[in-house]
A and B are shown apart, each in its own frame.
Chain A
Amino acid sequence: MQYAILCYSDEDVVGSWTKEEDEACMARLLTIQERLHKEGRLGPVLRLLPTTAATTLRKGKDEPLVLDGPFAETKEQLLGFYVVDCASLDEALDIARELTEANPGPGSYEIRPIGIFHPWTLPA
């Protein structure tokens, strides 16, 4: 089963990390990614830019509406996601647990089974 592991946290707090703190965290996460990649269990990994850079297209009765900002105002924001291939939910939870340890502070990882996956690729 393929899962998306969606990373939620408070982007204001994450945005206040120093460059060094941010880089150290990314380095820890990269170590995990490299191992999962070697094991053939890792698909695309994304880190999103702040929600202030987001635009939302909302379907209306007539023309869809283009709105500035993210889909919803929430305390925690979707900051990025991983696509992983796991035999079970427990395995996916193990990966999420490992990510939690590498990543300081509170926040949550939502594990969502993937319905359709087109592995189209773009250059990084």
Chain B
Amino acid sequence: MTDMEWISQSLSSARPRVVAALLRYFRDLDTAEEAFQDACLRALKAWPKNGPPRDPVAWLIFVGRNAAIDAVRRSARNQPLPDEQALSDLDDAEEEIAARLDDSDYRDDILRLLFVCCHPDLPATQQVALALRIVSGLSVKQIARAFLVGESAMEQRITRAKAKVAQAGVPFEAPGAVERSERLGAVAAMVYLVFNEGYSASGGDAAMRLPLCDEAIRLARLLLKLFQSEPEIMGLAALMLLQHARAAARFDGDGAVVLLEDQDRGLWNHKMIAEGLALIDKAIRHHRPGPYQIQAAIAALHARAKRPEDTDWAQIDLLYGALERLQPSPVITLNRAVAVSKARGPSEALAMIEPLEARLSGYFHFFGVKGGLLMQLGRRAEAREAFARAIALANTTAEATHIRMHLDRLERETDDSIAGASPG
């Protein structure tokens, strides 16, 4: 690795903190981003000559801030003088900045930066795109590729999102305790959205979209550093690590889905699993359960099982029960039913999901699970009907292929049994 590569990595890992601090000074996303770009250009010139500074983040904030102030002053020659008020609070001394740069100060800055990306008026995909552009510093091209859209379409989407954020105004005052925890909740949800954009990809798309999972995990680690004792942030990081650890085993060579119980557990990333398990252990000590922690605890039970048959389904059933109480949702009940079918058998599971049909009538997984349970119960005609509906609702070809496999097996077995039952 060359010096330049190292510098560019330092710059990208410093980015969230620097842009967040610059946003506090300038209260405008574009100005903060431009100031960061300016500081990076200067770093690329200065660092190879002088060696990297002791504190790259503080260096970049200081240089970026001065560059932006210079720009304001330059343009001031041609324009009416800016409001004195707007400039006066930018004139702090360097020492003061350095003194203020400990993690407790970064905390609200970074939270603010992430929070402006989850503006409630922005649709989920725009929130994700904005966060990837502004916080992670991915290029528009990289983001466009991850979302499988053209570069100019993505450029427009991000520009529109930025305009909306600017219109709403950046909340620059330091948040109170309640507000901070609300912001943290919104930001955690947005980070999980970033993750799911990558995680829900399949087949040929997966290679292009999986980096989103890495990016989300990086954002979660950043949050975790700033909010060290927040069990839900530990839970979120653990959940994503434990899910992403299975990435290499989730699809076969043809891009078809490999179910958890059929996955080659040797392909799981054991370092990620170890980190996820450590985080969920830490979280549980706080005795403040939440949805991310419970989902992570479920993922942890899968990760801890050496073989599929070692899975503690009874415990998973209990955890889904807890999740249902916190966040009642038919999708969670559906997931619980899968655990119930393993722990207590398919008929109890079927009884559990039948009342959900009206609400999940457009949901692929509902009919996949229902078909599977009916098949286990030997109710083949009904199973076929459920699988057919699942295929009609499949979101990806990988999903459809997977169900078709069940359907084909069902057809074969039915043919065999008819042949076997023929009068002899």
**A→B interface (CB under 8 Å):** 10, 12-13, 15-17, 21, 25, 49-53, 55, 66-69, 73, 75, 104-106
Contact B6 A49 (CB under 8 A): no
- In the complex, A49 Cα to B228 Cα: how many Å? 15
* Smallest CB gap from B271: residue in A: A49
Q: Which of A16, A53, A106 lies in contact with B282, CB distance below 8 A?
A: A53
| Chain A to chain B: the 8 pairs with minimum beta-carbon distance, closest first | A104-B1, A105-B6, A53-B278, A69-B228, A12-B13, A52-B224, A68-B228, A68-B229
Q: Is the CB of B5 within 8 A of A104?
A: yes
The CA of A73 and the CA of B282, in the complex, are separated in Å by: 18
Task: Name A103's closest neighbour in chain B (CB-CB).
Answer: B1
Q: How far is the CA of A50 from the CA of B218 in the complex (A)?
A: 11
Task: Give every chain A residue within 8 A of B278 (Cβ-Cβ).
Answer: 49, 53
Interface contact B218-A53, CB-CB below 8 Å: no
In the complex, besides A13-B10, A15-B13, 18 extra interface pairs with C-beta distance below 8 angstroms are A10-B13, A13-B9, A13-B13, A16-B9, A16-B13, A16-B218, A51-B225, A52-B224, A52-B225, A52-B237, A68-B228, A68-B229, A69-B228, A73-B103, A104-B5, A105-B9, A106-B51, A106-B52
Contact with A along B344-367 (1 / 0, CB 8 A): 000000000000000000000000
A122 vs B120: C-alpha distance when bound (angstroms): 51
- Of residues 145 through 196 on chain B, the ones whose CB sits less than 8 Å from some CB of chain A are none
Which A residues are in CB contact (< 8 Å) with B55? 75
B9 and A17: CB pair below 8 A? yes
**A49 proximity list for chain B (CB < 8 A):** 271, 274-275, 278
Q: Are B1 and A21 closer than 8 Å at their CB atoms?
A: yes
Are A50 and B282 within 8 A (Cβ)?
A: no
Name the interface residues of B225-248: CB closer than 8 Å to any CB of A. Answer: 225, 228-229, 234, 237
CA–CA, A39 and B50, complex, Å: 39
- Chain B residue, CB-CB nearest to A105: B6
Q: Which positions 262-298 of chain B face chain A at CB distance < 8 Å? A: 271, 274-275, 278-279, 282, 285
A-B contact pairs, 22 of them (CB 8 A): A12-B222, A13-B6, A13-B9, A15-B13, A16-B9, A16-B218, A21-B1, A49-B271, A49-B274, A50-B221, A50-B275, A52-B225, A53-B275, A53-B279, A67-B229, A68-B228, A69-B229, A73-B102, A73-B103, A75-B55, A104-B1, A105-B9
B12 at the interface (CB under 8 A from A): yes
- Name the prevailing secondary structure of the B interface residues: helix
Question: B224 to chain A: which residues have CB within 8 Å?
Answer: 52
- As a 0/1 sequence over residues 6 to 22 of chain B, the CB contacts with chain A under 8 angstroms (1 = contact) are 10011011100000000
A82 to B328 CA separation, bound complex (whole angstroms) = 50
B positions within 8 Å CB-CB of A: 1, 5-6, 9-10, 12-14, 51-52, 54-55, 102-103, 218, 221-222, 224-225, 228-229, 234, 237, 271, 274-275, 278-279, 282, 285
A12 to B56, CA, bound (A): 12
- Cβ of B279 and Cβ of A15 under 8 Å apart? no
Known contacts A73-B102, A105-B1, A105-B9, A66 near B218 by CB under 8 Å: no
Q: Tell me the bound Cα distance from A15 to B14 in angstroms.
A: 12
Q: In whole Å, how far is B159's beta carbon from the nearest beta carbon of chain A?
A: 27
Contact A52 B6 (CB under 8 A): no
Residue of A10, A25, A53, A73 most packed against chain B (CB within 10 A): A53
Nearest CB on B from A55, distance (A):
6
From B221, B234, B237, name the one whose CB has the most chain A CB atoms within 10 angstroms: B221
A53-B278, A69-B228 given; A75·B54 CB < 8 A:
yes
B133 to chain A, nearest CB (A): 17
With A15-B218, A53-B282, A68-B229 as given contacts, are A104 and B275 in contact (CB-CB < 8 Å)? Answer: no
Residues in A whose Cβ lies below 8 Å from that of B275: 49-50, 53
Residues in chain B near residue A50, CB distance under 8 A: 221, 275
Q: How far is the CA of A6 from the CA of B199 in the complex (A)?
A: 36
Cα distance A12–B1 when bound, in Å? Answer: 17
Closest to B56 in A: A10
Give Cα A17 to B282, complex, Å: 26
Bound Cα distance from A75 to B53, whole angstroms: 12
Query: Which residue on A lies nearest to B225, using beta carbons?
Result: A52
Name the CB-closest residue of B to A70.
B228
Instruction: Name, among A13, A25, A68, the residue most crowded by chain B CB atoms within 10 Å (CB to CB).
Output: A68
A17–B6 Cα distance when bound, in Å, is 10
Q: How far is the CA of A95 from the CA of B6 in the complex (A)?
A: 22
**Whole-angstrom CA separation of A106 from B9 in the bound complex:** 12
Report yes or no: B282 in contact with A68, Cβ–Cβ below 8 A. yes
Contact in complex: A52, B279 (CB < 8 Å)? yes
Distance of A52 Cα from B226 Cα, bound (Å): 10
